[in-house]
Structures are given as C-alpha cells and as structure tokens.
Structure 1
Amino acid sequence: MSDVPAPTASPAPAPHAGQPVLFRGGIVLTMDDAHTVLPRGDVLVRDGVIAEVGVNVDAPDDALVIDASGGIVMPGMVDTHRHMWQTAMRAYGADWTLTQYFVWYYLQHGAKFRPQDYAAGNLISALDAIESGVTTSVDWSHGLRTVEHGEAAFDALVSSPGRFVFAYGNIHQSPWEWTADPAIQRLLVASRDDSRMFGTQIAFDVPNQDEQFPELAAYRVAKELGLRVTTHAGVWGATNDWGIRNAYRAGVMEEGFTYVHAASLSEESYQMIAATGGNVSLATESEDTCGQGYPPIHQLRRHGIPTSLSVDTSVWFSADLFSAMRATVNADRALEHFHAHRREPAETVTHVKLRAEDVVHMATRGGAQAIGEDSRIGSLEVGKLGDVILLKNEDSPTWAPLINPWGQIVYQAQRGDVHTVLVGGEAVKWNGKVIAGDLRGVRAKLDDTVGYLEREVGDDWIAGQHPDIPETEVLTNPYQYKK
C-alpha cells in the first residue's frame, strides 16, 4: 500500500461579481417573524438580494451552488456598538478595570491617536468583523478629536468590506461644543447622504449630574440633521439615571435611540426607555468585566425593551458575536440561579427563561431592528439584501453531530467555523478565508501605528498592559467633561 496521501480536491473558486449563489441543503435559520427553520433548505441570492428561500430551489444556469449540508445558513450578524478604532491596540487592556480604561485610553494612549492611526484601527476591525460573520457594524467612533480624525474614520469605513453605521463622537470635548462645529456637521450630513454608508448616528454620553442639561444642544443637532442618538447609559458611577431623566423631561428621547449597557439604571429609567421606543445594546463581556453593573437582560425582558448585542472594544474583549451570545446566555442564567438559591425557602430553577434562540435573534434581527434597517437586513426573506453567512467546518469534530442549530451557534461555534460570508451577494469570506480588503496593507499600517504609539507612550507602554495605579492617582470619576 502506498504511503502517499490521496490528492485532495481544490476548493471551488469564489463566485465572481454579480454571479447568483445558491446555498443548498443546509439548516436554514430564516430569522423571520416566526423564526422559521428549514432542516434541509436552500437560499438563493441573485442581483444582490435574497431571491428565494425554500426546499429544492431551482439553480439558475449561471449560479454557483454551495453545498451547505452539515452546516447552518443564517443572516449576517449585526454589531450595534463597536469602538472600531481601538482595535489598533487589540488585547492591550486585557487586565484593565473600567477606571483604568478611562485613564489609559482617554487621557493617555487614546489622546495620542493620529488620524491615520484611527483609520488603521477601523480598517482592521472591519476585516475582523467580516471574518466572524458580522456583516453590519455600528462604528462607535468616540475618539474623533478633530474633523480630520472624523474624515479618516469615514474614509476607512467606506473603503472596507461590510456595512457600517458611522456613530460620530468626541470624548475629548463636550458634546454641546463639537456638535455645533460647522465642519463636523458637514461631515455628518455627507455621511448621512452617502450611499456607501448604512447610516449615521451621533454618539455622546451624559456623565454630569447637571439639571441645566447642557447635552440638550447635542440632542437638538441630532434632531435637526435627522440622526439617531446612541449613548452609553447605565454605566456605574459615570452615566446613570440623571441622563435618562433629563432627556425624558426635555422630550428628546426618541424611537430608535440606542442605550448601550443600560446596566445600572432604576426601574423608572427602564420604563422611560421602553415608553419612548428605545433599544439597548448589550456588550455582555464588557458588563461582566468592567463594572457597569450586572448585564441587565432580566430588566430588558421584564420591560419589553428590544435588545441587540455588541462587541464594545477588542482592546479588551472578544471581537465576535459568538462570544457575546455565549456571555449573554451565561450571565442571565447565572443570575436566575443565584436569585433562586437565595430565596427563603431556596428554590431550584427547572426551566431557564433566556434561550439560545433568543440571543441568536439579538445578534441578527435584533441588531437590524436597533439600527432601523429591519426591512433590509437581519433575516433571510425574499427581497432583503443578500447578507448571508454559512457556518460549516468539515474538518472540525465539533460539527458532528449537528442536531440543535441554536445551541450549535451559541455554545459550539466560533469565527473559524464561518465558511462563507456574502454582503449584498458578493463573497467577502470564502472557504474559511477573508478574500475582500487588503489585509497585508492594513497590517503595514498597523505596524506603523503600534510603533508610533509605543514610542510616544514610552515606559508606560508596558505598564499600561499591567496597570498598578496607586489609589492616590485614581480619579474619582475621570469619565467627565470639563465645562
């Protein structure tokens, strides 16, 4: 018998631009209103949109047929809160507390970012998202110290594969100041009207307990420009109930506004968010780690507040929504058991409330609803944009047997199992490899950025990764604007 291994078949070439693609014989999670599941279904994408979903769909003569058997076909995921620029310092802050994040990033490292460094972070984050099956990201761009930084961030987004909502922010200046800048307003309008973008938002926080509510001016700019607001709310010791209360009293909380974290709020604040049609972006790995408050899934469920998921920042956390889904399920179940065990008499939870299916909804349809694009993305339905992912890994024992698709996605899958990603019918990841963008060129930009930051920060470069800040040097709340 010969010891020479049998030749392996070469993977099929990626579909060419404009070629119809038919996913054949996979478990199809449509994420429609009924969460319809087709155990052996087909999805046809043609002319950039979903043309047919069903069983035994006829393949057009020129279609590329992908064998999806043994895999899961689902909508592209939507991340509703990702500080993309910070990916330029990926994993740097793995041992930070939230206070150290504020000090090191906002007051030291982050303040040193040049426009090109901001762009480098956005460029690598965009490719990062695509690799893990995230086809739409809200770029929570809150370090834009100058309009040049904003232009660099915007240019990086429109030149990257994927869909992006540009959430413009500037933590280094009060929101009532930077939103009044005519140059920034021009950029906001240009982004809003650019067909290459998937939306524009204004990103700012309300950290001051000030009854005068100076942030009202920023809300009014958002209203004048027709933009949604996204804000970090319910962050312990930083942005709490007063921001919600002031905005509600001023009548500026509107349907579709996003409240990120929402982890340390009162019952009244949750009621105000629910009553005004707001939604919450959970970044559960962040809430678990940082101290914003316990991940509030139980409160959002109780008040019927629409929920989506987000990465937050890969300077710290995982850069994929598989981790976010898993963390969200675990956090809610841990709290449910904890409360039951502490009751008198103690109880045993026999049926958990949050299911794997629920967090898959948050990562797909929930994200689309949060950014106001439910009519175009978030589910596999005829007429929606062809943002489709195939999860399949024939070389992994973790994919056999494939029984419960919801459980497989939440507890078994990872970015390496993302076989194919289509955005508008165009392949951006194929056969497990990102094929869109310029990874080599982006790596070169990152090398320049990291080298620059390391020189600028000096000895604190290592200390920032392993912080040990004396108590006397910790600010009571460094996350605040100076009036």
Structure 2
Amino acid sequence: MAAPDRIVIRGAAVASVDPVIGDLERADILVEHGAIAAVAPVSAETGVSSLTVDEGSAVVLDASEMIAIPGLVDTHRHTWQAQLRGILADGTIPDYLRGMRLQMAIRYRPEDMYVGNYAGALDALNCGVTSLVDYCHNILDPECAHGAVTGLLDAGIRGLYGHGMTPVTSNTWSESAGGREGVVDPAAFGPRAALAREIREQYFRDESQPLRFGIAPQELPIAPVAAVAAEFALARELGARMTMHANQLAVRQLFRDVEVLHEHGLLGPDLLLVHCSFNTPEEWELLRGTGTTVSVCAETEMQMGMGFPAIREATLHTPGPSLGIDCVSGDSGDLLSHARLVLQATRWRDDSAGYERLVAPQEMRWTTKDALSWITMNGAVAAGIEDQVGSLTPGKRADIVLLDMGGISQAGWNRRDPTGAVISQTNSGNVDTVLVDGRIVKRHGRLVHVDVESALARTRASHDHLYEEMDRHGGFIPQPPVDIPLYRERA
C-alpha cells in the first residue's frame, strides 16, 4: 500500500516533543508526500484550526478522541528472537547465554531469521514503534543475514539493521577482563567483513531509505580488543553507525568496557552503547563530550541481574538516554509501559536516599516529558535519524502514532496534559493508528499493510520448528549446563 499524497489528522490532542510546538489540547496535522507539513492548533473559540485543505483530495483521519505522538523509537532489540516470545520469562543471564545464545541460536535457519525479524518488526509497529535499532547477533551464515535484512525490509519499519559481527558458536564469555589485546584473526575477520560489505551493497545503497545499515561489533568480554577495533574501522569505512553491549555485568570483576574503548580511541557520536549499568564514575566522565549515546533496557536489566537502569547517569553524561525492549524472549514489546516503568523506578531511586531519614520528596525531578523524550527524540538521536523523526515537527518525515483515548479505561483523561496522559495512562493496547513515512500501516487497531494471517502462520511454523529442535537437543538448557567460565562459583 503506497503512502497517500495527503493526509489530514483532525482534532487530536498533540504531544509533539517539539520545543516550539509543545503540547496542544486539540490540533490538526497535515501530512504531504510523506512529511509533516503543518501542525495547526484548533481555536477554543471557533473550534477550527488555520489549516485549510480540500478534504476531497486527502485521506482524513478523525482523531478527536486520540493523542498524536511521534512514532516511538526503540534503540535496542534482538528482533530475531520474536518467535521465542516469553521463553525466558523467569530467566537469568546464565540462562540466556546457555539457552538462547548457545542452544537456540544455532538452531535457526535462514527462514527463522527472516520470520523473527519480520514478525518482530510487525510487533514493534503494532506497538507504535516506527523506528528500531535491530541488534542482529545471530548471523550463522550469509543466508541468515539476507533473511534477517529482508524480514525488516518487508515489514516496512524505519531504523537501523545492526549487522552482528559475533561468531555465533564462540559466545562462551571469558573470565578475563574485557579489552585484552590479542590479535585479529584474518581467517575469521575476513569472511565476516566481506559479508558486511555484501549486505550493505545489496540492500543499503540508497541512504535515503527508511532502513539503514549498521554494525554490531563483538562484545569486549568475548573478543580481543584488536578484533573489536578492526570491526569499528570497518563500520566507519562503510559509514555505518555502531551499537554494542557494554558493562552490563558485574561478575567477579568490572569489565570497564568504556575505559577500553576510550583507550583505543573508539568512542564517538556514531556509537550507541547498550546497558552501561556497571559503568564506573570515571567511565561516565569519559563518555562526556564524545557524543556516544546509551540505550537502557530496564525490563531485562531488572530481571536478569544487570544492575539498575542507568537513566540518571546517561542523562548527566551523554546526549540523553533512550530505551530499548532488548528481547521479547524475556519481556514484552510494549515501549510505552517500559517508559513508565523506567520513570517510576528512577523516581524511586532518587527518593530512596531520604527514606532512612524519613524525609519525603518535595519536588519531582523526573517528569513524563523526560520519559516521552526517551522513546522519541532521544531515541532518534541515538539512531542518527533526529533530522527525520523523533518529534512532530513540520519538515520531518510523517512517523506518527494515534493513541485511542475513547475507552472506559481512559475516561476522564487530562487533555490539558497530553504528555502526562501518554506516559501515565496508555500502553500498546491504545495504539489505534500508525504512520511510517506517511504510509498508514495500522488503522483502527489492526495492521493494514501486510497479510497478518500469513505472518502468523509463518511465525507459528518457525516457533514449532525451533521447539522441536530444542527438544531433540536436550531442552532449552541441556544438562549438565554448558560451562561458562565467568559464572563458575568462586573456590
């Protein structure tokens, strides 16, 4: 379904995340040729806006009981895991490493990589996420890479395909601190670099397309820093943004990933780090001024023992934190609820310092505007697309979400504070309409740009295949468990 030339959104409350436009109780939005052309407040006296459009030449969307927000931006998701939804609902990090990365990952066929990324991206769109930083660290062979990219492209989502450089079967996690020098193994690096070039050349020559090419370098605890530096050099040669896990564990020692990256001159505005829960104060200072961004994935971090979500530190030392779902194999894909969780947890963290002194907080340091920014404008900055999306600003691409506030669970909502209503009162179930680049992909609560039944059938088939393979090979975590040196009990 092609994008209509002109769309008029009538009567929406607006949480624009634009510092000039701000929040509006009621407004009309004009979309032309895939871009936001105007956001016009509706006069309280006349009940109309200054927007004059021949509605016969436009698609008109009645949003009188809705809130319009920018399309959400998820800055960290292992999208390929979509058909294993919830398999790690009670999982720890050792469970994830043993069960997902050392058992299930190697059972994936190219078809499964396609389905995971296709269904995962559709899930994101269904939840109002129009831009996604995909962290695809399960490239078993070239066909798997092609399947993963094609899945995202077919789903029609904006964002970054993060081509994983990690050799899948070597994810054993060393006991030594990250950043050991080592050497680059040409026999290993050469084919992976060649595949990255091939994928970029085949699918991403048009740099204006919504989906862009990125690189996900190996994690420092499992690779010599020389190998990681070579992957950074490859990414920068190709003009690709990078994303990588950093300092998400404190087991036996701190890895000091940020310190190692700094020592080797690898930090920069083209790098999105994920988690950073165990950054030292010195490492946070090293990030200051480099433009390096941080994605916080609170549900995973709080579930799996990966530290407290580092929103406060990232706010103080980086261009601003963003949020990522991480993996629906453990948690939900609902980014609106995720933002509310992080907001309340961060408020609690700051307030807890006064509890022992029986001192109640007197002001609200963290606001719903902060939370909405985490999943819109900050996310766009982290993905390198802030000039295109992240706010409802005329001239930007029309990635727009309409949240239905007409139900009994939203009755009495505060139209004078649309941002507060979005963060405190909504979830993915309120997502009525989604536009990506001016193209309507969801309307009246249903995806309309794809054959949903076909997507469901392929997802079920892939799910069943992977579970059958799991059962044939000893279950999710075969016994005895694979030894992971990092998690050996201390003598």
TM-score norm. by structure 1 comes to 0.88
Structure 2: how far apart are the matches of 1:179 and 1:32? 43
Match of 1:265 in 2: 279
The one of 120, 124, 130 aligned to 2:119: 124
1:351-366 aligned within 5 A:
351-366=363-378
Structure 1: how far apart are the matches of 2:222 and 2:479? 27
Match of 1:385 in 2: 397
Match of 1:155 in 2: 150
Match of 1:99 in 2: 94
1:38-77 aligned within 5 A:
38-55=24-41, 56=49, 57-61=51-55, 62-77=57-72
- Contact 1:233/1:240 (8 A) holds in 2: no
Is 1:369 paired with 2:364? no
The one of 87, 94, 103 aligned to 1:108: 103
1:19 Cα deviation after fit: 4.2
The one of 406, 412, 421 aligned to 1:394: 406
- Contact 1:84/1:126 (8 A) holds in 2: yes
- Contact 1:209/1:243 (8 A) holds in 2: no
Match of 2:242 in 1: 229
1:35 Cα deviation after fit: 6.1
- Contact 1:392/1:417 (8 A) holds in 2: yes
Unaligned runs of 5+ in 2: 42-48, 172-183
Structure 2: how far apart are the matches of 1:378 and 1:364? 5
Structure 1: how far apart are the matches of 2:367 and 2:466? 43
Structure 2: how far apart are the matches of 1:240 and 1:428? 44
Question: For 1:216-243, what per-residue CA distance to the aligned partner results, in whole angstroms no more than 9, with x for missing partners?
Answer: 1111111211212211112114795532
1:210 Cα deviation after fit: 8.0
Match of 1:312 in 2: 326
Identity level (%): 28
Match of 2:315 in 1: 301
1:27-42 aligned within 5 A:
27-34=13-20, 36-42=22-28
Supply the AA of the counterpart residue of 1:402: N
Structure 1: how far apart are the matches of 2:353 and 2:82? 37
- Contact 1:124/1:439 (8 A) holds in 2: no
1:226–1:475 Cα change, 3 Å = same
Is 1:193 paired with 2:205? yes
1:16–1:230 Cα change, 3 Å = closer
The one of 240, 247, 263 aligned to 1:249: 263
Structure 2: how far apart are the matches of 1:323 and 1:358? 14
SS in 1 for 2:52: coil
1:83 Cα deviation after fit: 0.7
Is 1:476 paired with 2:470? no
Supply the AA of the counterpart residue of 2:38: E
- Contact 1:77/1:133 (8 A) holds in 2: yes
SS in 2 for 1:52: strand
The one of 199, 211, 214 aligned to 2:227: 214
The one of 408, 417, 423 aligned to 1:410: 423
Question: For 1:55-114, what per-residue CA distance to the aligned partner results, in whole angstroms no more than 9, with x for missing partners?
Answer: 211223312222222321111111111111001101111010111001100110111111
Is 1:443 paired with 2:456? yes
Supply the AA of the counterpart residue of 1:377: V
Supply the AA of the counterpart residue of 1:247: L
- Contact 1:27/1:69 (8 A) holds in 2: yes
Is 1:135 paired with 2:130? yes
- Contact 2:256/2:279 (8 A) holds in 1: no
TM-score norm. by structure 2 comes to 0.87
Question: For 1:218-275, what per-residue CA distance to the aligned partner results, in whole angstroms no more than 9, with x for missing partners?
Answer: 1111121121221111211479553222221111211131011111110111112223
- Contact 1:203/1:230 (8 A) holds in 2: yes
Structure 2: how far apart are the matches of 1:256 and 1:347? 42
SS in 2 for 1:271: helix
Is 1:426 paired with 2:439? yes
1:50–1:347 Cα change, 3 Å = same
Match of 2:190 in 1: 180
Structure 2: how far apart are the matches of 1:167 and 1:268? 28
Is 1:334 paired with 2:348? yes
Structure 2: how far apart are the matches of 1:330 and 1:230? 27
1:478 Cα deviation after fit: 7.1
The one of 268, 273, 276 aligned to 2:290: 276
Structure 2: how far apart are the matches of 1:48 and 1:210? 43
RMSD: 2.5
Structure 2: how far apart are the matches of 1:143 and 1:16? 32
- Contact 1:144/1:169 (8 A) holds in 2: yes
- Contact 2:23/2:418 (8 A) holds in 1: no
Structure 2: how far apart are the matches of 1:191 and 1:20? 29
